[in-house]
């Protein structure tokens, strides 16, 4: 069956499946929820009223705000002066209407400065972490320690009372808060699967930050904007109260408060109108911010369990890698025909004691063009870490050593910049969770178009055409309709097809598929496996498929690498492995396949569990669970032993496996 003929489940009208994660609450839904509250509408109404009346002060004000009426000083409300007059007989209502605009506008300056500084810095530092994080944290701590008012007062003296300079400096001081907010949100977003998917597709760092991470930060940023703005507004009112920054000839709210404070004992009314206006405005801004904060969704998307980061090599592994670098800094002609060669791969993680713990230990395999190699084994055997190390993407604290060669070129020693170019264009990943591998904020066309543009470029029309071609290639006939859909409108099978199209967009030679069907219904699983097989045949891809399911291996694999406790314990052509397993672990897995279950009989299982890396014995790691284990198995490390033309097994008792007396179905492995 070719790719084009594999029927796509759910093709037609995009469907939203019950029980599947939708793009959880968005900022607009938070706004809608907040607007359902009457108090929010009142607060919003007040802010709009203040802004409009300030903007239209020239039209609305009944008097000239500077005109003095010395016959009616400190009058209190009258028919002529609705809110009364000040000590020079100036109309308070007109002065209030004219006095807000300059403050409202000036308060935007520190807000803009803090966002201009804090947002890019927070995005970048949150994304790269490491030393940049420590330096930025120090700077922000210094900013937080600065008493803003004292500094701005000093700046007022130095700058000759220049409002612009004072507001810019104030913006710099408060930018630390925005930086911290953005950095925290970026740290929470950087390991989302769709961000990893963009990274794996080779998308540039700033594009990832702006397209895939910034939208997650936008909601909290807008909320914070209300709170920060009201703070800046209050701060500037204080400056104007002190006679700083604002033109003393023109009315301003701080100045009105100052004027009223001189008459508090004798004419307290003067403070009432401006007091109410100020308090109501600041309270309304704060209330709007807090209400949005309360309705903003907290957990927006499912998180990726294993955050993917570029590894830092541990010292001992680095020494090993240095040897590898010398050996293979140039392409290795010996394996030029093998798209992917992994040799003696070791993956280690930093322990809490400061040492290193290996979780993958000396894994070697090679994949030919048009071949599917399956990494199979129970959970925790090191399959995913092997795959991720191959892509140069390990969780934080992880490091890889050994050799991973793509078309003869060593990958483990490439810089992150070079590796980013390799990912997507030469080697690509299809992940387990299609729904979280797609960014819910963007349509299929936009996400696929991004990767197509990156790898092939072209005009808008050409990119669009290529997107449709890719969707058809993965068995989606109504490509135009699906291209317009958003991830939550797709079924699981459709979403996985789109993810496969994403992986193919850069025309890689090698595809890594990590449990690509685990999250799907059984019927859809078969379709996706069919699709992968047909794509692999038609495009001549080398496919590395991670799975715990021997049924999948039987269905799609050419070669199987059975992994146990961080090692390959058997490497064999799939048909030979299925017919005559040459390791007791492979045999145990085969016997435990539910497909072989006999009605009424208990399904055989392998006793015990995979040992944790820290508990790996120095001898055969399967010995504790193996019915064939003998003293010799516990005397030292067991190497991979060649047991056929293309077969090897990490067992010294393979001869006794065929047939295995009393094993598996009869209960020895249980």
Ligand X SMILES: Nc1ncnc2c1ncn2[C@@H]1O[C@H](COP(=O)(O)OP(=O)(O)OP(=O)(O)O)[C@@H](O)[C@H]1O
User: Sheet of 340-350: strands edge to edge?
Assistant: 356-367, 340-350, 398-406, 409-410
Q: Tell the smallest beta-carbon distance from residue 106 to ligand X (Å).
A: 49
DSSP 14: -
- Please, which residue, 185 or 547, has the CB nearer to ligand X? 547
Which is nearer to ligand X, 90 or 383 (by Cβ)?
Answer: 383
| Side-chain-side CA neighbours of residue 328 (13 Å) | 25
State which of residues 382, 492, 506, 557 lies at the interface with ligand X (CB under 6 A): 382
Instruction: Write the interaction track for ligand X spanning residues 265-304; mark x where CB under 6 A is met and - where it is not.
Output: ----------------------------------------
Q: How far is the CB of 343 from ligand X (least distance, A)?
A: 18
Measured from the CB atom, the residue of 361 and 439 that comes closer to ligand X is 361
Length, in residues, of the chain: 670
| Smallest gap from residue 109 Cβ to ligand X (A) | 44
Please report, for residues 457, 580, 587, 638, 664, the alpha-carbon distance to residue 649 in angstroms, rounded to integers and kept in the order given: 47, 12, 12, 9, 19
Residue of 219, 289, 377, 424 interacting with ligand X (CB under 6 A): 377
Sign of torsion, CA 567 570 571 575? negative
- 476 makes contact with ligand X (CB under 6 A): no
535-564: contacts with ligand X (CB under 6 A):
548
Among 395, 424, 487, 516, binds ligand X (CB under 6 A): 395
Residue 346: φ, ψ to 5°:
-125, 130
531-536 contacts: CB < 8 A, separation 24 or more? 531/3, 531/6, 531/474, 531/475, 531/497, 531/500, 532/430, 532/500, 532/556, 533/372, 534/1, 534/2, 534/3, 534/5, 534/6, 535/3, 535/473, 535/474, 535/500, 535/504, 536/370, 536/372, 536/511
Q: How many residues bind ligand X, per CB under 6 A? A: 16
Q: Which stretch binds ligand X (CB under 6 A): 43-51, 158-166, 375-383, 496-504?
A: 375-383
Residue whose CB is less far from ligand X, 86 or 555: 555
Of 404 and 471, which has the nearer Cβ to ligand X?
404
Which of 208, 170, 179 is CA-nearest to residue 191? Answer: 208
CB nearer ligand X, residue 314 or residue 382: 382
Q: What is the largest CA-CA distance in the chain?
A: 117
Looking at the Cβ atoms of 83 and 359, the one nearer to ligand X is: 359
Q: Which of residues 313-352 bind ligand X (CB under 6 A)?
A: 349
Find the part of the chain contacting ligand X (CB under 6 A) among 141-149, 159-167, 239-247, 380-388.
Answer: 380-388
In this complex, which beta carbon is closest to ligand X, that of residue 109 or of residue 385?
Answer: 385
Q: Which two tokens stand for residue 304?
A: 């990726």
390, 400 contact by CB (below 8 A):
no
- Angle in degrees, CA 181, 20, 6, rounded to 5: 120
Q: Is 400 exposed, middle or buried (0-12, 13-18, 19+ CB in 10 A)?
A: buried
Residue 583 interacts with ligand X (CB under 6 A)? no
516 touching ligand X, by CB under 6 A: no
Residue 260 or residue 387: which is nearer to ligand X going by CB? 387
Q: State the minimum distance, in angstroms, from the CB of residue 477 to ligand X.
A: 33
Nearer to ligand X, 381 or 660 (CB): 381
Token couple for 40: 């929010």
Q: Are 546 and 512 in contact, with CB atoms under 8 Å apart? A: yes
Q: Which stretch binds ligand X (CB under 6 A): 82-90, 226-234, 376-384, 501-509?
A: 376-384
Least distance (Å) between residue 351 CB and ligand X: 9
Residue 306 found at the interface with ligand X (CB under 6 A): yes
Residue with tokens 């010996």: 334
* Segment interacting with ligand X (CB under 6 A) among 42-50, 89-97, 379-387, 578-586: 379-387
Least distance to ligand X, CB of residue 612, Å: 6
405 close to 340: Cβ distance less than 8 angstroms: yes
Residues 112-131 that bind ligand X (CB under 6 A): none
Least separation in angstroms between CB 545 and ligand X: 12
Among 384, 403, 447, 586, indicate the residue that binds ligand X (CB under 6 A). 384
Cα(293)–Cα(621) distance, rounded to whole angstroms?
52
- Report if residue 663 touches ligand X, rule: CB under 6 A: no
In sequence order, the 6+-apart residues with CB closer than 8 A to the CB of 131 are: none
Shortest Å distance, C-beta 633 to ligand X: 22
Among residues 160, 249, 352, 379, which is the contact residue for ligand X, using CB under 6 A? 379
Contact characters 415-454, ligand X, x per CB under 6 A: ----------------------------------------
Please report, as residue ranges, which positions from 596 to 655 form the binding site for ligand X (by CB under 6 A): 612-613
Residue 215 exposed, middle or buried by CB count within 10 Å (0-12, 13-18, 19+): middle
Cβ of residue 397: shortest distance to ligand X, in angstroms?
A: 6
Which is closer to ligand X, CB of 179 or CB of 356? Answer: 356
Binding piece for ligand X, criterion CB under 6 A, among 11-19, 163-171, 192-200, 382-390: 382-390
Distance between CA 553 and CA 550 in Å, rounded?
5
Q: Which two tokens stand for residue 542?
A: 């080398």
Q: Label each residue of 524-567 as H, E or C.
A: HHHHHHHHHHHHHHHHCCEEEEEECCHHHHHHHCCEEEEEECCE
Counting contacts by CB under 6 A, is residue 309 touching ligand X? Answer: no
State which of residues 121, 193, 342, 385 lies at the interface with ligand X (CB under 6 A): 385
Backbone φ, ψ for residue 37 (5° rounding):
-90, 125
User: Contact with ligand X (CB under 6 A): which of 383, 405, 455, 625?
Assistant: 383
Smallest gap, in angstroms, from Cβ of residue 322 to ligand X? 24
Give CA–CA dist 490/357, Å, rounded: 41
Compute the least distance from the CB of residue 306 to ligand X, in Å. 5
- Residues 309, 44: contact at Cβ < 8 Å? no
Structure tokens at 26: 């968005």
What is the nearest approach in angstroms of ligand X to the Cβ of residue 294?
Answer: 34
Q: Find the part of the chain contacting ligand X (CB under 6 A) among 4-12, 190-198, 378-386, 476-484.
A: 378-386
Cβ-based nearer residue to ligand X, 349 or 442: 349
- Where does this chain bind ligand X (CB under 6 A)? 306, 349, 359, 377, 379-385, 395, 397, 548, 612-613
């Amino acid at each position: 069956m070719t790719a084009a003929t594999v029927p796509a489940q759910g093709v037609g009208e995009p469907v939203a499946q019950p029980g599947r994660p939708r793009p959880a609450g968005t900022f607009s839904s938070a706004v809608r929820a907040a607007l359902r509250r009457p108090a929010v509408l009142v607060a919003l109404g007040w802010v709009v009223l203040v802004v409009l009346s300030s903007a239209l002060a020239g039209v609305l004000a009944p008097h000239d705000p500077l005109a003095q009426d010395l016959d009616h000083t400190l009058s209190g409300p009258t028919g002529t002066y609705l809110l009364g007059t000040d000590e020079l007989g100036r109309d308070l209502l007109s002065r209030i209407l004219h006095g807000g605009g300059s403050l409202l506008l000036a308060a935007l300056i520190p807000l803009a400065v803090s966002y201009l500084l804090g947002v890019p810095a927070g995005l970048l530092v949150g994304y790269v972490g490491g030393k940049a994080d420590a330096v930025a944290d120090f700077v922000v701590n210094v900013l937080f320690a600065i008493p803003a008012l004292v500094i701005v007062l000093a700046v007022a003296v130095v700058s000759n009372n220049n409002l612009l300079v004072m507001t810019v400096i104030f913006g710099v001081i408060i930018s630390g808060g925005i930086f911290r907010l953005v950095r925290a949100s970026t740290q929470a977003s950087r390991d989302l699967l769709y961000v990893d998917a963009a990274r794996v597709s080779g998308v540039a760092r700033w594009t990832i930050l702006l397209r895939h991470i910034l939208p997650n930060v936008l909601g909290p940023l807008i909320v914070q904007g209300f709170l920060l703005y009201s703070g800046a507004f209050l701060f500037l009112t204080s400056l104007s109260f002190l006679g700083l920054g604002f033109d003393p000839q023109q009315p301003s709210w701080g100045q009105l408060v100052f004027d009223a404070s001189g008459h508090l004992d004798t004419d307290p009314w003067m403070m009432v109108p401006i007091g109410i206006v100020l308090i109501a405005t600041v309270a309304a801004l704060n209330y709007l911010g807090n209400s949005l904060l309360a309705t903003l969704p907290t957990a927006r998307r499912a998180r990726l369990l294993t955050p993917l980061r570029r590894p830092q090599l541990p010292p001992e592994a680095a020494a090993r890698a240095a040897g590898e670098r010398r050996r293979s800094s140039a392409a290795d002609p010996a394996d030029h025909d093998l798209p992917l060669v992994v040799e003696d791969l070791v993956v280690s993680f930093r322990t809490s004691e400061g040492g290193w713990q290996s979780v993958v230990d000396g894994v070697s395999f090679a994949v030919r063009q048009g071949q599917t190699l399956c990494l199979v084994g129970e959970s925790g055997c090191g399959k995913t870490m092997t795959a991720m190390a191959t892509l140069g993407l390990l969780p934080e604290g992880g490091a890889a050593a050994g050799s991973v060669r793509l078309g003869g070129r060593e990958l483990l020693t490439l810089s992150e910049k070079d590796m980013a170019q390799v990912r997507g264009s030469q080697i690509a990943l299809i992940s387990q969770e299609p729904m979280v591998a797609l960014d819910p904020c963007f349509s299929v066309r936009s996400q696929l178009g991004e990767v197509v543009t990156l790898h092939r470029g072209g005009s808008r029309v050409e990119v669009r055409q290529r997107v449709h071609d890719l969707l058809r290639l993965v068995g989606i006939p109504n490509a135009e309709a699906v291209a317009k859909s958003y991830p939550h409108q797709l079924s699981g099978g459709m979403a996985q097809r789109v993810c496969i199209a994403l992986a193919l967009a850069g025309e890689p030679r090698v595809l890594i598929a990590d449990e690509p069907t685990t999250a799907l219904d059984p019927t859809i699983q078969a379709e996706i496996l069919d699709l992968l097989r047909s794509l692999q045949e038609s495009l001549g891809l080398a496919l590395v498929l991670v799975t715990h399911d021997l049924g999948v291996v039987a269905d799609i694999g050419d070669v199987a690498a059975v992994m146990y406790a961080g090692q390959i314990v058997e490497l064999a052509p799939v048909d030979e492995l299925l017919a005559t397993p040459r390791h007791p672990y492979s045999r145990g897995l085969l016997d435990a396949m539910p497909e072989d279950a006999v009605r009424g009989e208990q399904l055989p299982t392998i006793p015990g569990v995979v040992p944790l890396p820290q508990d790996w014995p120095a001898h055969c790691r399967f010995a504790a669970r193996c019915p064939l284990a003998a003293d010799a198995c516990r005397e030292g490390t067991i190497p991979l032993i060649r047991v056929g033309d293309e077969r090897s097994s990490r067992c010294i008792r393979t001869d006794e496996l065929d047939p295995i007396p009393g094993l598996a179905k009869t209960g020895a492995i249980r």
